[in-house]
Structure 1
Amino acid sequence: MVKKSPAAQGRKRDVRVRLPDDQHGEAVAEAARQGVSLSRYVRTVLLEHCLTRRPPDEVASALSSLSRQLSAIGNNLNQIAHVLNAGNHAPVSQVLKDVQAANSETRALLRNLQP
């Protein structure tokens, strides 16, 4: 009798996937590069990309860009606050426009993520 590893004991369902030869070869090669079995590689890809509802690459890239933009806006706001606290005047109109643009872009991305 073949004894299952502790990790495999909780897995009770088989999923069969048919691939063209070239895609199968790519999957086998990638699994080998990562030092895992083809089964583990396919399971990892499935869980990371589908079951966890990870955003598509383009959305993740856009969110990363927005994060950088919001960080820059925050820095600008801190600089403006520093100037104002020193009793001087500071132009805030561009920072407000940047905040509004980032807010609009964020809302559009969120609309794309919702089912």
Structure 2
Amino acid sequence: MAQTDRLHSFRIRASQADLAAWERAAANADMNRTSWLRSLAADAAAGTRHPGILADEIRALRRELSACGNNLNQIAHRLNSGSRADPEAALDRLGNLMGEVSDFLHDAHAPKRKGGSRTRRQRQ
């Protein structure tokens, strides 16, 4: 067995629901729970993940998605009332926003791999 410099340990109290959620998240990242928690702590210590900033970014994305939804509803209302509407710009913006959301979610959930690169998991 290889010798390690990991001589310290700590305990955290967690509910059954928290523990189950952490187990699922670790499994989704192809990691065990200890490695997954260690990677989260290492990312936070390195400044690569900021939970508060992440929450702010999610709120901003929700606002943008809501605005796009409102625009689509207005277009649908105009079209259903017999008025003319050009949905092309709104649909282009929605497509771009969907790409941004996809990229954001991938970056937020992608486990950090050896060497610092992030790889997208292949769908099976």
TM-score, normalised on structure 1? 0.50
Q: Which has the larger radius of gyration?
A: 1
TM-score, normalised on structure 2? 0.47
Which one has a larger percent helix, Structure 1 or Structure 2? 1
